[in-house]
Each structure stands twice: as structure tokens, then as C-alpha cells.
């Protein structure tokens, strides 16, 4: 009975808190954060469009029979080729379409990595906070050691164990990013535990991890969202980096990292700049979008950073 | 303070022991049979079985662990399976390590020299146009991956403008010796191409002044230093790419640290005493704001090493970063193991250096 | 004599920490090896369980010495980058001592159990 009422009260609390939240109004008044949000929304639209309307076969397989290879963007001169907005690559595939599809891949695998590590992090953080003492210490300090490693090197080490391939890279990066979420959740969970009302619910006989989930999750939604946003950009870069180094996407897949790899090996010396320029531009702009939004969110959340 | 340093140096032993043990565990948890890797997929089973026996892979795993530790302690990392087939891992590493060290050191120096002043400037002029531009610049710097900025600067400055070379460490017309001669004794070179060429060129130049052209040698200074100039030209783009990438993080840290210090009371007091603002900030603020940033430099060096892996790949510089990527790709386990150990050693040594610097800067530590 | 007491106490505390974790490790490692041996073959069981033990052991050692070596840097970094963190060098070292004790226990457990495997 006691938990029932407190849950409904809490649920009403979320909506009201959001409406009157200084966090949201602060965020919406931040011009850079709005720019970031627009970039992200734009990329999502492009990605979804590419997923729905582009033929994956045509942009993965060689088109040497049909088109010229390494053709510069059509608008650069030869009018006959104006259908290739971003030019074609070494296998005569349309770079524009590939870049659009790359947006879908980056967001999809970014969501997989960040989503999985958020869920894992929430579980570990809550477990650590709930059981405290030895469990807390061992779990969190192990996470800390993981945090001390640079993400790319750690991911490379894990790839050495799991082997190459996009799905394995996703697993490796999930492990790399989990500690960051675990730490945030644990901090928020400990704060909630300190509050008296949890003591009250526990005293009423609800000593149950479910209680924690119900009370902790609403309270750490904001920090988790900030963390997810900031790490989304990093995760996309790391995903692309691993593909760039040859451990992620397999040949033909229109991933930005792999396109950059091809651009470096095929276009650097000959000056075919469009091979690497456009995929990298989309990657950098997307990451910048997440960083702008995440930064704005952090400033809105953490009054210390404001005057 | 000597005891402090000695204690830290002693801690290197368990660090490396820990890394070695983790690497051992990882390699034994990884799928795949080393004997298969060495011999290739199509080798007859009989051969594989024999090689397994020779490599000691049939012994109980704790025996293998003990042997591994004993070998590692003697700096014997075994032989490369694939990349440098048959040659000792230690030799390969010793060959490639200076390349990465050179890149990382110059990159780190660039990052510090650019990042700290920018952070200070941004903090001092908080909320001004300069601050906004610097902050957005730093954010962009973090967002732009090295494997895009690298190819772009290469395309602009090497391919299109032709000012700088596209890849490698030195022009193909130069031949690097592996030692230099001083008063009849042969001294080994460092393997860091900018330092080596400088030493060799200076040697030739001084010799020419003493025994040849005399002071007229100054007229053809650039000719004497041609190989050094070539080396610097090759280093310029990779170092800038790596350095600007790490600079972004440092300048952000410096800004927030400086802001914190500026807000503290004693700065206000100093200001009230009538000193000029600029002097106040530089004298009191900078030293205090630097302390936390310096601690970060050590940890940020890890990110820089990660960046070095990418930079080496883009610019075709054969350091241990490129070696690590190649070794993982070819499942060349002994080489992976050796590279990881060397990365850990570098990271720890830099942090050690940072710690020592820190203890000098922060008087509270010295007691 | 009294001068050495704190040192002895220090040592005893560490020993108890390692021993408790090690005992847990021996039991768990032994059980895991037997279970995997039943499901798979004895060699795999011994190799994989031991490797996991070394992983925990090595990780603990690395974490312990890393905390001792760079503790102050990490404390500074966490204070600056995270809003709520209570990372301390001391806690970290204790946790890592436990972890390496546990890992060593698993390794020992496997060594003890392996000759008994079918």
C-alpha cells in the first residue's frame, strides 16, 4: 500500500517537475544546445530516409559496370555526372547515397552501444549502491580501473579477444562505456538512499531492489540523459575509428569509418578529396551535434558551471 | 623527494606485472589456436600438433603462466607469428618505439603550448566573444576525428599545395645511419628521426667549419641541415593533427580550473590591494589553476596514445601504434602482448613524470 | 618492540583481506572448473577457469599499483569531470587487494581441482 501511493505520487511529480524544471528552460535558452539538437534531428531524418528509400545492394556492391569510378562531384564541371552530388568512390558507388546510409548505420550502432551500456550501467550502479560495502567497493573500483584506460585502446584490446566485425565491436564498446553510466547511476542512487523517505519505505517492509529502481530511476534520469548524449558522440567516433582501422564494418558496408579508410588508401595521393571529405564531414557534424547538446545539458544541470 | 621518486619507480614493477598477467589471461581466453595461426589454415593437423608441443601449449596452463612470467621478466616476449615472422618481438618493438615516442612527445608539447594559453584566455575573458570562439573551437576539436582531420590536412598541404610530404618519416633521398661518430667513438642514435638528423647534420656542419669551408659553411646552412629539415617537414602535419586534437580537452580543463581559481577570495584580495589585474591573474591564478590541469595531462596522455594509433595509420608512420593494429589484424599474439606492455610502460612513465612535476608545483605535497 | 606493532597490524589487516577473498576464490574456482569439465572437457575447463582467475588477479594488481601510482591524478580528474564521485585512493586499493586475492584464489582452486578431473 505504502509503495503504491508513493509511486503514483512520484509519477505525478515527474511531469510537474519537468514542466517547471529550470533544467529544461535553461537548456532551451542555450542557443548552442538548440543547434546541436537540430543537427541530431536532421541526421535522424536523413538516416531514416536512407534506410527506407535507398537500395543497400546498389550502394554496397561495385558499380564499375554502370558508372565511372572516382568521378568528382557533378557540380564541379562535367555536366553529365551531375547526379553524383558527392562524386563516386573507387568502386564507382555513389558517395552521396553511401554517406546518407552511413548516418543510419552510425545512429543505429550508436544507439545499440549507448543503450546497452546504459542498461548495464544502471544495473551495476544500482546493485553497487544497494548492497554497499564490499560489493559496492569491488564493482565500482573495477569500473574505475576501466575508466582509466583510453576508450579506443581498451576497445582495441577487447577486439583482440572477440575478433573483428561490427557486432563484436558493439560488444567491445558496450563494455568500454558501461563504467561511465554505472558511476553516474550509483551516485544518484546513493543520494536517494540517503533521503529519508526511502528509509521510510524500507522500514515499512519494502526492502526490495524494486523499490530502489522505482525511486532511483526518476531521480537519475537527467544525469543519465546528459551522460548518454555526451557519450553518444564519443561512441560514434570510436565505432568509426574501429571501422577505419579495419576491425568494424566489413568491406562494402557504407559506414563512415570504412569510407574514410577507403578514402585514405585510394584518394590521398591522387587528390580525390571527395572520397574522404564527405563521410568525415557528416561524422564530425553529427558528433559536434551530440557534443553541443550534451554540453548544454550539463551546464543546465550543473549550477556550478554557471555564474 | 628522492624517496618519493624511488617509491614511484618501484611501483612500476607491479604495474607491469599486472599488465602482463592481464595480457596473458586475455590471450588465453581469446579463441583460436596459436599453432594454427602460425602455420595457416591449410596446414596439416600433424604439423599443428607438433608445433603445439614445441610451443609448450599442451602443458598445464599454470606451467605456461609461470614460463610466461619468467620470459617476460627477462624481456623475452617471444617471436612474432606473422608480421615480422620469426624475429624476436623485442627487436621489432625496439625498432618502432622511438617513432611513437617522438610523435607523442611533440604532440603533447603542441597540445600543452596551445591548450593552456587558450584556456587561460577563455577564462579571463569569460563570456566575451573570444571565450565563445575558443569554447566552440575546442568543442569542434573534440568532435573532429583524427582520421578525418589527418587526411584533410594531407590533401591540402601535401597533395594540392605540395608544401609538405605525404607520408613516411624522411625524404627518400636521405640515408640514415644507425650511429654517429664523435672523436673517433661510435655512438648509437636515438631512433627519433628529428633528433638523429640534427645530430648527424650538426656533426657534418661543425666538421666543415673546422676542417673545410670554415665560416663560409654558414652560407650553405640549409644544405648541411637538409635531412633535418626533411625530417621536420615529415613530422609537421602528424604532430599538428595529434596535438590540436589533444589541445581541445586541455583548454577546456584549463578554462574551468582557471575560472574556479579566479572566483576564489584571495584573488579578490589581491585585486583589492591595487595590483594590476593581469599581474594578479598570472601571478596567483595561473600557478594554482595549473595544478589540477597537470594531473590531467598524465591521464590525457592515454587518449593521446590512442590518437597516435590513428595518426600513424593515416600518415603511414610505422610506430608501435600501427604495429598494434597490424598485430591484432593478423592475430599475432606475442606482438600484441609486447605492444600492449610497451603502451602501458609509456603511460605509466609519463604519469610518473607528471607526479614528480606536480610535487614540485604543489608545496603541500613535499612534507 | 612496540614500534613494530602498527606495521604488524597493517600487515595482518591486508592478510585477512586477501585471505578471505582468496578462500572465496578457491571455492568458486574449484566449482567452476568442475562444472565446465562436466559440460565441456577437462582441459578447456582448467585453461578457461585459470585464465579468468589470472584476469581478476592481474586486473587487481594493476588496479592496486595504478591507484597507488596515479591516485592523486585520478582524484583530481574525477573531482573536475564528475559532479558526484567519492573516489579515494584508499578505497580503491582495498577493493583491488580483494580482487587480486580472489583471482589468486581461483587460480589456486583450479590447480587443486584439475588433477581430480576425469
Q: What is the ipTM of this complex?
A: 0.82
CA distance, residue B314 to nearest chain A CA (Å): 7
| Higher pLDDT pick, A125 / B179 | A125
d(CA B202, CA B220): 13
Lowest mean pLDDT among A245-254, B323-332, B355-364, C19-28: B355-364
What's the whole-number mean pLDDT along residues A167-196? 83
Tell me which chain A residue has its CA closest to the CA of residue C60: A142
Lowest mean pLDDT among A8-17, A234-243, B183-192, B305-314: A8-17
Dihedral angle over CA of C90, C92, C94, C96, nearest 10 = -150
CA distance, residue A113 to nearest chain C CA (Å): 21
What's the whole-number mean pLDDT along residues C30-54? 83
How many Cβ atoms are within 10 Å of A23's Cβ, its own excluded? 16
* 3-class SS of residue B336: helix
d(CA C88, CA C67): 9
Max CA pair span of chain C: 56
Q: Is A131 on the interface with C (CB under 8 A)?
A: no
Cβ of B155 and A269 within 8 Å?
A: no
- Average of per-residue pLDDT values in chain B: 82
Q: What angle do CA A145, B142, A39 make, to 5 degrees?
A: 120
Tell me which chain A residue has its CA closest to the CA of residue B161: A271
Contact C55, B25 (CB under 8 A): yes
Contact A261, A244 (CB under 8 A): yes
3-state helix, strand, coil in chain C (%, to 5): 90, 0, 10
Spell out which residues of chain A touch residue C62, defining contact as CB-CB under 8 Å: 145
Q: Is C50 on the interface with B (CB under 8 A)?
A: yes
Residue in C53, C74, C114 closest to B60 by CB: C114
Q: Is A157 on the interface with B (CB under 8 A)?
A: yes
pLDDT at residue B164 above 90?
A: no
d(CA A114, CA A175): 10
Q: What is the pLDDT of residue B46?
A: 84
DSSP H or E segment with residue A223: helix A209-244
Tell me which chain B residue has its CA closest to the CA of residue C115: B60
Give the model's confidence band at B208: pLDDT under 50 very low, under 70 low, under 90 confident, else very high.
confident
Cβ of A32 and B302 within 8 Å?
A: no
Tell me which chain B residue has its CA closest to the CA of residue A32: B136
Tell me which chain C residue has its CA closest to the CA of residue B16: C62
Give the mutation candidate from C32, C69, C100 for the B interface (greatest B CB count, under 10 A). Answer: C69
Pick the most confident of A21-30, B55-64, C54-63: C54-63
- Average of per-residue pLDDT values in chain C: 78
CA distance, residue B106 to nearest chain A CA (Å): 19
Residue in C63, C65, C73 closest to B299 by CB: C73
Tell me which chain A residue has its CA closest to the CA of residue B148: A280
Spell out which residues of chain C touch residue B11, defining contact as CB-CB under 8 Å: 65, 68-69
Please list the alpha-helical segments (H only) found in A132-208: 133-148, 151-162, 166-194, 196-203
Q: Is C28 exposed, middle or buried (0-12, 13-18, 19+ CB in 10 A)?
A: middle
pLDDT at residue C90 above 90?
A: no
Q: What is the pLDDT of residue A4?
A: 42
* Residue A233 grid coordinates: 558522440
pLDDT at residue A236 above 90?
A: yes
Going by the DSSP 8-state scheme, the letter that residue B284 receives in this structure is: I
d(CA A100, CA C31): 52
Contact C54, B24 (CB under 8 A): yes
Give the mutation candidate from C55, C83, C93, C101 for the A interface (greatest A CB count, under 10 A). Answer: C83
- Average of per-residue pLDDT values in chain A: 79
Going by C-beta distance under 8 Å and a sequence separation of 6 or more, which residues neighbour residue B214?
none
Q: Is B271 on the interface with C (CB under 8 A)?
A: no
Going by C-beta distance under 8 Å and a sequence separation of 6 or more, which residues neighbour residue C50?
B28, B61, B62, B65, C106, C107, C110, C111
Q: Phi and psi dihedrals of B179, rounded to 5?
A: -155, 165
| Chain C residues bordering chain A (beta-carbon distance below 8 Å) | 59, 62-63, 66-67, 70, 74, 82-85, 87, 91-92, 94-96, 98-99
pLDDT at residue A107 above 90?
A: yes
Lowest mean pLDDT among A65-79, A128-142, A290-304, B96-110: A65-79
% of chain B residues with pLDDT over 70: 91
Helix pair angle (C42-81, C5-39), 10° resolution? 130
Q: For chain B, which chains pass the contact test of at least 3 CB pairs under 8 Å?
A: A, C
Between the two ends of chain B, the Cα-to-Cα distance in Å is: 9
Closest to A130 in 3D by CA, of A182, A179, A176: A182
| Higher pLDDT pick, B273 / B240 | B240
Contact B153, B237 (CB under 8 A): yes
Cβ of A183 and C99 within 8 Å?
A: no
* 3-class SS of residue B187: strand
CA distance, residue C113 to nearest chain A CA (Å): 26
Q: What are the pLDDT digits (tens) for B27-81?
A: 788 777 777 777 777 778 888 888 888 777 778 888 888 988 888 888 777 777 7
DSSP H or E segment with residue C18: helix C5-39
Q: For chain C, which chains pass the contact test of at least 3 CB pairs under 8 Å?
A: A, B
pLDDT at residue A296 above 60?
A: yes
Going by C-beta distance under 8 Å and a sequence separation of 6 or more, which residues neighbour residue B118?
B134, B137, B138, B247, B251, B254
CB-hemisphere CA count at 13 Å for B204? 15
Q: What angle do CA A268, B306, A117 make, to 5 degrees?
A: 110
Tell me which chain C residue has its CA closest to the CA of residue B31: C48
| Chain B residues bordering chain A (beta-carbon distance below 8 Å) | 26, 29-31, 136, 139-140, 142-145, 147-148, 151-152, 154-155, 159-160, 166, 256, 299, 302-303, 305-307, 309-310, 313-314, 324-325, 328-329, 331, 336, 340, 343
d(CA B155, CA B165): 10
Closest to B23 in 3D by CA, of B89, B59, B85, B72: B72
Q: Is A161 on the interface with C (CB under 8 A)?
A: no
CA distance, residue B24 to nearest chain C CA (Å): 8
DSSP H or E segment with residue C57: helix C42-81
Q: Is A292 on the interface with B (CB under 8 A)?
A: yes
Q: Is C27 on the interface with B (CB under 8 A)?
A: no
* 3-class SS of residue B188: strand
Amino acid at each position: 500500500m505504502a509503495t503504491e501511493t508513493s509511486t503514483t505520487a512520484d509519477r505525478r511529480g515527474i511531469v510537474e517537475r519537468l514542466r517547471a524544471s529550470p533544467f529544461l528552460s535553461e537548456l532551451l535558452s542555450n542557443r548552442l544546445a538548440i543547434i546541436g539538437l537540430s543537427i541530431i534531428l536532421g541526421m535522424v531524418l536523413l538516416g531514416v530516409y536512407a534506410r527506407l528509400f535507398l537500395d543497400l545492394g546498389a550502394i554496397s556492391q561495385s558499380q564499375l559496370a554502370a558508372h565511372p569510378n572516382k568521378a568528382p562531384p557533378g557540380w564541379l564541371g562535367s555536366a553529365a555526372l551531375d547526379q553524383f552530388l558527392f562524386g563516386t568512390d573507387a568502386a564507382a558507388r555513389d558517395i552521396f547515397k553511401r554517406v546518407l546510409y552511413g548516418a543510419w548505420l552510425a545512429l543505429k550502432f550508436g544507439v545499440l552501444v549507448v543503450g546497452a551500456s546504459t542498461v548495464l550501467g544502471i544495473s551495476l550502479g544500482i546493485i553497487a549502491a544497494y548492497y554497499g560495502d564490499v560489493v559496492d567497493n569491488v564493482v565500482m573500483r573495477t569500473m574505475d580501473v576501466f575508466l582509466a584506460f583510453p576508450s579506443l585502446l581498451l576497445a582495441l584490446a577487447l577486439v583482440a579477444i572477440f575478433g573483428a566485425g561490427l557486432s563484436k565491436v558493439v560488444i567491445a564498446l558496450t563494455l568500454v562505456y558501461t563504467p561511465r553510466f554505472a558511476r553516474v547511476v550509483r551516485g544518484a542512487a546513493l543520494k536517494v538512499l540517503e533521503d529519508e523517505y526511502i528509509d521510510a519505505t524500507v522500514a515499512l517492509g519494502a526492502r526490495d531492489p524494486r523499490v530502489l529502481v522505482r525511486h532511483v530511476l526518476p531521480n537519475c534520469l537527467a544525469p543519465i540523459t546528459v551522460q548518454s548524449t555526451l557519450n553518444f558522440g564519443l561512441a560514434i567516433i570510436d565505432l568509426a575509428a574501429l571501422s577505419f582501422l579495419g576491425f568494424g564494418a566489413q568491406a562494402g558496408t557504407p559506414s563512415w569509418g570504412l569510407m574514410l579508410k577507403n578514402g585514405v588508401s585510394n584518394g590521398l595521393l591522387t587528390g580525390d578529396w571527395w572520397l574522404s571529405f564527405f563521410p568525415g564531414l557528416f561524422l564530425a557534424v553529427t558528433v559536434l551535434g551530440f557534443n553541443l547538446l550534451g554540453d548544454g545539458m550539463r551546464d543546465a544541470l550543473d549550477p556550478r558551471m554557471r555564474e | 623527494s628522492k624517496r618519493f621518486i624511488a617509491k614511484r619507480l618501484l611501483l612500476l614493477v607491479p604495474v607491469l606485472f599486472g599488465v602482463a598477467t592481464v595480457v596473458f589471461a586475455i590471450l588465453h581466453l581469446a579463441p583460436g589456436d596459436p599453432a594454427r595461426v602460425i602455420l595457416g589454415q591449410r596446414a596439416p593437423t600433424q604439423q599443428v600438433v607438433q608445433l603445439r608441443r614445441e610451443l609448450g601449449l599442451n602443458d598445464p596452463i599454470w606451467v605456461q603462466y609461470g614460463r610466461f612470467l619468467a620470459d617476460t621478466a627477462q624481456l623475452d616476449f617471444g617471436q612474432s607469428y606473422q608480421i615480422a615472422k620469426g624475429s624476436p618481438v623485442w627487436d621489432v618493438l625496439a625498432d618502432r618505439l622511438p617513432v611513437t615516442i617522438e610523435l607523442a612527445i611533440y604532440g603533447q608539447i603542441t597540445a600543452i603550448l596551445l591548450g593552456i594559453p587558450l584556456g587561460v584566455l577563455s577564462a579571463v575573458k569569460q563570456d566575451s566573444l573570444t571565450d565563445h570562439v575558443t569554447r566552440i573551437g575546442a568543442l569542434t576539436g573534440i568532435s573532429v576525428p583524427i582520421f578525418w582531420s589527418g587526411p584533410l590536412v594531407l590533401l591540402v598541404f601535401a597533395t594540392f599545395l605540395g608544401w609538405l610530404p605525404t607520408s613516411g618519416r624522411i625524404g627518400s633521398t636521405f640515408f640514415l645511419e644507425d650511429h654517429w661518430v664523435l672523436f673517433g667513438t661510435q655512438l648509437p642514435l636515438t631512433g627519433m628521426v628529428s633528433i638523429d638528423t640534427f645530430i648527424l647534420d650538426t656533426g657534418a656542419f661543425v666538421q666543415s667549419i673546422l676542417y673545410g669551408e670554415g665560416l663560409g659553411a654558414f652560407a650553405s646552412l640549409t644544405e648541411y641541415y637538409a635531412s633535418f629539415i626533411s625530417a621536420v617537414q615529415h613530422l609537421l602535419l602528424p604532430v599538428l593533427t595529434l596535438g590540436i586534437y589533444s589541445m581541445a580537452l586541455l583548454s577546456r580543463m584549463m578554462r574551468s580550473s582557471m575560472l574556479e581559481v579566479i572566483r576564489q577570495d584571495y584573488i579578490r584580495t589581491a585585486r583589492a590591494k591595487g595590483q594590476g589585474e593581469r599581474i594578479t591573474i598570472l601571478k596567483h591564478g595561473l600557478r594554482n589553476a595549473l595544478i589540477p590541469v597537470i594531473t590531467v595531462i598524465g591521464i590525457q596522455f592515454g587518449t593521446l596514445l590512442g590518437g597516435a594509433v590513428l595518426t600513424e595509420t593515416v600518415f603511414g608512420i610505422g610506430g608501435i601504434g600501427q604495429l598494434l593494429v597490424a598485430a591484432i589484424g593478423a592475430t599475432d599474439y606475442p606482438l600484441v602482448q609486447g605492444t600492449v606492455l610497451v603502451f602501458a610502460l609509456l603511460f605509466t612513465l609519463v604519469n610518473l613524470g607528471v607526479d614528480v612535476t606536480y610535487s614540485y608545483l604543489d608545496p603541500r605535497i613535499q612534507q | 618492540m612496540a614500534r613494530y606493532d602498527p606495521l604488524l597490524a597493517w600487515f595482518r589487516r591486508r592478510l585477512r583481506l586477501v585471505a578471505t577473498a582468496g578462500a572465496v576464490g578457491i571455492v568458486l574456482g574449484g566449482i567452476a572448473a568442475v562444472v565446465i569439465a562436466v559440460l565441456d572437457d577437462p582441459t578447456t575447463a582448467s585453461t578457461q577457469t585459470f585464465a579468468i582467475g589470472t584476469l581478476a588477479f592481474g586486473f587487481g594488481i594493476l588496479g592496486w599499483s595504478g591507484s597507488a601510482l596515479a591516485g592523486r591524478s585520478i582524484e583530481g580528474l574525477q573531482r573536475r569531470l564528475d559532479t558526484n564521485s567519492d573516489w579515494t585512493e584508499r578505497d580503491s586499493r582495498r577493493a583491488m587487494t580483494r580482487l587480486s586475492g580472489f583471482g589468486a584464489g581461483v587460480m589456486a582452486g583450479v590447480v587443486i581441482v584439475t588433477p581430480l578431473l576425469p
